[in-house]
Amino acid sequence: MAMKIRLARGGSKKRPHYAIVAADSRYARDGRFLEKLGTYDPLLPKDNENRVKMDLERVKYWLGEGAQATDRVSRFLEAAGVVEKKARSNPKQGEPGKAAVARAKERADKAAAAEGTAAE
């Protein structure tokens, strides 16, 4: 059984509230789970202690049983000091999009044309 520690969404439209659960990876995101391990309320401020609540002993148990934490849950566990911080790399995140590249090229062309007319 491929176990995951992940978020299960609850709450109404535009008012999300998540449960941190241990579930088989084949189950639906908001469907069946084996155990509720905590809660996450993204609407609370980041410094609020009630934003993320977890039963760390049960989380450690499931990690010991071979469960894999999803990316978001692993960030919570890193903040709690349960797992070591992973090095993440997203080199494309800082690159400009197609439209921004096109605008920059247009500006460079206009600047080059303006320098050419000013030099004459």
Q: Which amino acid is at 106?
A: E
Closest by Cα among 44, 37, 42 to 19 = 37
Q: What count of residues does the chain have?
A: 120
Domain ranges of the chain: 3-80
Domain 3-80 fold: S16 Ribosomal Protein; Chain: A; (3.30.1320)
Question: For residue 118, is pLDDT > 70?
Answer: no
Higher pLDDT, 86 or 51: 51
**Tell me: the pLDDT tens digits for 78-117?**
988 888 888 777 777 778 889 999 999 999 999 888 877 7
> What is the rounded CA–CA span in Å between residue 27 and residue 103?
46
Residue 20: count of CB within 10 angstroms of its CB: 27
Burial string for 75-91 (b: 16+ CB within 10 Å, else e) reads bbbeeeeebeeeeeeee
Which residue pairs from 26-34 have beta carbons closer than 8 angstroms and sit at least 24 positions apart in sequence? 26/2, 33/8, 34/3
**Tell me: the pLDDT tens digits for 27-37?**
888 888 899 99
Q: Yes or no: say if 82 and 5 are a contact pair by the CB < 8 Å rule.
A: no
